[in-house]
């Protein structure tokens, strides 16, 4: 073969190789971005209850307002006391875990099961997301791909201030 023909073929092969490499790398990055790893978290919205005998523990008094805590003095009709003057009781709404963790760049999906209360209205202010947890239902809340490390508050606005948890997003490993 002539040197000009060999050079032309080599040039075409190099150009084709570069084009394939660019196409492969571009497609690979696009695919990675479009299919971020998903971090699926499972939590439950629960109500903790406690009570005491007045003769053994004096009634401690009121709790912060908002619905996340409830304190029922002796003689109350609430907290299951039904007017009993020998006991006092307390209740609080909580997530069964106060902290969940994901890595930056992961899609965060929360599956929340409602155990107590008819509903819990939830907001994630930094992500501008909201959802409702209903009793007896697993609510799937897709918070999307969280790209920035940090702490994201997940708040129940039905039962503040107690009913909340933190989504801790760590830098990519």
Question: Is 44 in the same domain as 110?
Answer: yes
Six-digit token string for 142: 């897709």
DSSP strand pairing (164-170 vs 99-103) = parallel
Question: Is 12 in the same domain as 55?
Answer: no
* Phi and psi angles of residue 15, each rounded to the nearest 5 degrees, phi first: -60, -40
Specify the pLDDT at position 34. 55
Question: Is 11 in the same domain as 71?
Answer: no
**CA–CA distance, 76 with 54 (Å, rounded to integer):** 13
Q: Which residues form the domain of 18? A: 1-35
Question: Is 31 in the same domain as 57?
Answer: no
Place of tokens 């409830």: 70
Question: Is 126 in the same domain as 52?
Answer: yes
Specify the pLDDT at position 30. 32
Question: Is 71 in the same domain as 44?
Answer: yes
Segments of the chain with pLDDT less than 50: 3-33
Question: Is 29 in the same domain as 62?
Answer: no
Question: Is 85 in the same domain as 30?
Answer: no
Question: Is 105 in the same domain as 152?
Answer: yes
Whether 74 contacts 5, CB under 8 Å: no
Specify the pLDDT at position 59. 96
**CA–CA distance, 141 with 170 (Å, rounded to integer):** 20
Question: Is 13 in the same domain as 64?
Answer: no
Question: Is 77 in the same domain as 132?
Answer: yes
CATH no. for residue 88?
A: 2.60.40.420
Six-digit token string for 160: 């503040």
Collapse the DSSP code of 125 into the 3-class scheme (helix H, G, I; strand E, B; otherwise coil) and give the result: helix
Question: Is 121 in the same domain as 133?
Answer: yes
Number of domains in the chain: 2
Collect all residues with Cβ–Cβ distance below 8 Å to 13 and sequence separation of at least 6. none
**CA–CA distance, 154 with 129 (Å, rounded to integer):** 9
Collapse the DSSP code of 149 into the 3-class scheme (helix H, G, I; strand E, B; otherwise coil) and give the result: coil
């Amino acid at each position: 073969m002539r040197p000009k023909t060999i050079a032309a073929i080599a040039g075409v092969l190099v150009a084709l190789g570069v084009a394939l490499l660019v196409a492969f790398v571009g497609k690979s990055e696009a695919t990675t971005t479009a299919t971020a790893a998903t971090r699926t978290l499972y939590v439950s919205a629960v109500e903790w209850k406690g009570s005491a005998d007045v003769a053994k523990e004096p009634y401690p008094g009121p709790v912060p307002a908002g619905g996340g805590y409830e304190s029922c003095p002796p003689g109350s009709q609430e907290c299951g006391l039904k007017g009993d003057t020998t006991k006092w009781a307390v209740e609080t709404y909580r997530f069964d875990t106060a902290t969940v963790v994901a890595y930056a760049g992961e899609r965060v999906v929360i599956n929340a099961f409602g155990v107590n209360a008819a509903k819990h209205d939830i907001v994630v202010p930094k992500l501008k997301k909201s959802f409702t947890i209903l009793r007896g239902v697993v609510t799937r809340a897709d918070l999307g791909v969280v790209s920035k490390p940090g702490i994201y508050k997940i708040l129940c606005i039905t039962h503040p201030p107690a009913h909340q948890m933190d989504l801790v997003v760590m830098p990519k490993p």
